[in-house]
Structure 1
Amino acid sequence: MNSQRKLSYQAIMEVSEGNHGWKSILLDHIGVSRQALNKFLHHRKTDWEHKNDLLTEVVLKTYKDHFQRIGAGKILSHITKEHLLDFEVTYYQVRRVMRSEGISCKSKAKKRSRKDDNDQHEKDNVLNQNFEVEKPNMVWLSDSTQLEFGIKETHKVKLSGILDLCSRKIIGSFISPSETAEAEIAMFKETFEEMGDVHPMVHTDRGPAFTAVSFNKLLDEHKVIRSFSRPGTPYDNSPMESWWSNFKGIWMDSHPRPATLEALIKLVQDGIDYFNNIDRLPTKNGLTPEECWNKAIAK
């Protein structure tokens, strides 16, 4: 099974767990049939998958038992000498599992000065507030914001978005119960599939969802350049912050609070359509984001 598709199925199950009705909404959102999801859930593991699960379990336990301070070589030695598995295991298999699980040998951390931290944050901020780009899909900004729905009882959800920096057009969005790596993965996966073979710079803040190993593994697969805002510096992502401010202040505040999740989703979709296709940008010679996108593509 395609690893990205499998990741999507897992994300759907994790995001929808304990949230009634979300599974159908998420399936519709990313274009996956319930039949395909059920096939994944009832998939009978192959011999390779079964052995890989056993290996993963043993690697993680051995790694934890030794205070997370041993690498693939030592883990393999423990597996071999202590007969922890009844099938042959190689160094490269152990290393593959460690990479897949996002673990590595932790050496004693060196003391770092505040200057070192600041220097690293400056290096991570590749975008460096350079908000003028010539073509769509060169830089994507992403962030999430909280929305509410319900009349008698207030329910809160997170709206994530991807803003193309050149056109200021929202090219991806996703509503989920909370900001998680799984939600961001689902949004970015759908956007990459829609945009085709593109390799943008992706700039975000340093929230847990955006620094998660699983999320950045997806970005690595698409060969993107990664950029992060400096701590406590929202201006590093100011076009995205400005879009949220307009969306909530102009659009959401001009409409009654939606009574249901379905009504909220419809209101959000209509709002994105308004800002992409109707609202005109003085900073873009009065063009709408869609017009700006098309003009830049045509050059």
Structure 2
Amino acid sequence: MERAFAKKLREIRNREVGRSAKYEAIQELVKEGYTVTELAAVANTSRKSYYIWLKKRQIKTQQEIENAKILAAIRQIEKRHLNCAGYRKVTAILNSDTSKIKEYTFSFDFPINIKRVRRIMREHGIKADIRQPRRNRVKEQQQYLEDNVLHRQFAPDQPNKVWVTDTTELTYGRGNKVRLHAIIDLYGNYALSYFISPTETAKDVIKAFELAKQKTSRLAPLIHTDRGSAYTSREFSNYLIQNQCVHSMSAPGTPADNAVIERWWCDFKHLWLAHQPAPQTYDQLLKLVAEGVKYFNTVEISGKRKNLTAVDYYRSEIA
């Protein structure tokens, strides 16, 4: 009997953790023919403690009774709505007057919280059976290839031919966040312009391009971006059309399609920001960003640019 009790106790503890495991073991072994007295002795407890636990277990709480009624009501709602009602719709119906609907036999005199409905539905595996439209992934991939006009050709033969852009998050002080927008000419990876804004919007992106345009008088004929909401917006698309630009976009979740500016961000943060005191004010951040952009344009050299700085390599072709 000791072995049987120990085995049953392990099974129950594997299913759930709690102080009542030994009482549940006694309850299950009683059904197999053992006596409560014998099992209580093996479990090192008293018969009285076991029966007190058993009585409490058999008495349903008010919440359990309410949950059972709510579950029955949910099943009626799902049946009427062809199992397509989500927990928000179910909650709204449960808290409304349903007396005129003959399929419903429930009525509650207390408000039912949406979290309670969601929990009950989840516990009983009830969810809206709404079929999602099938995605033509082959067609999507083909569209992504067509949208990526640049095709990772990151070495144009002259300035102002291809620009890439992206945004990154910067912080200052105690958790204050801003977005840094940058425009990079792929010819020498020269940072034409940058702009700092509280959020990433199409207007902020366009402002960065206007600052670059002031240096070159026109935008590059090919602009490459990722698929951020600001870049896929109608406002930004119209802006590029007005400036006679072709918009090239990376495939979703493919930062390698915009590798140059991704590397530029990496260098900016790890080679520049990481070696500077953390800015505590917005003005300090502005100064730090301006100095960092100047450093990568006028100080940092690269073998890919014949050991020239970005600005010298960029201007050598223009001159």
Instruction: State the TM-score, normalized to the length of structure 1.
Output: 0.61
Task: Say if 1:134 and 1:296, in contact at 8 Å, map to a contact too.
Answer: no
Report the equivalent of 1:118: 141
- Alignment of 1:131 onto 2:154: yes
Is 1:159 paired with 2:186? no
Whether the 8 Å CA contact 2:163–2:220 is kept in 1: the answer is: no
RMSD (CA atoms): 1.3
Equivalents in 1 of 2:292, 2:166: separation in Å? 17
How far apart are 1:282 and its partner, in Å? 1.8
SS of residue matched to 1:156: strand
Note if 1:188 corresponds to 2:187: no
Matching residue within 191, 197, 210 for 1:170: 191
Work out the CA distance in 1 between the residues paired with 2:214 and 2:240. 13
Aligned residue in 1 for 2:263 = 242
> Are 2:223 and 2:248, in contact at CA under 8 Å, matched by a contact in 1?
yes
Does the alignment pair 1:218 with 2:261? Answer: no
Letter in 2 for 1:120: Q
Q: Contact between 2:182 and 2:193, CA under 8 Å: does it hold in 1? A: yes
Letter in 2 for 1:232: G
Post-superposition shift, 1:111?
Answer: 6.3
Are 2:209 and 1:209 aligned? no
- Deviation of 1:178 (Å): 1.4
Alpha-carbon shift at residue 250 of structure 1 (Å)? 0.6
Cα separation, 2, equivalents of 1:271 and 1:238:
20
| 1:270 paired residue among 291, 294, 300 | 291
State the partner residue of 1:297. Answer: 318
Instruction: Give the gaps of 5 or more residues in structure 2.
Output: 1-132
Rg larger for: 2
Is 2:184–2:193's contact at 8 Å kept on the other side of the alignment? yes
User: Structure 2: how far apart are the matches of 1:180 and 1:197?
Assistant: 22
- Scaled by the length of structure 2, the TM-score of the pair is 0.57
Aligned length: 187
Counterpart of 1:180 in structure 2: which amino acid? T
Percent identical pairs in the alignment equals 37
Q: CA deviation at 1:127?
A: 0.1
TM-aligned CA deviation for residue 199 of structure 1: 3.7
Contact 1:181/1:214 (<8 A) preserved: yes
Q: Match for 1:216: what amino acid? A: S
Please give the alpha-carbon distance, in whole angstroms, between the structure 2 residues aligned to 1:142 and 1:134.
Answer: 19
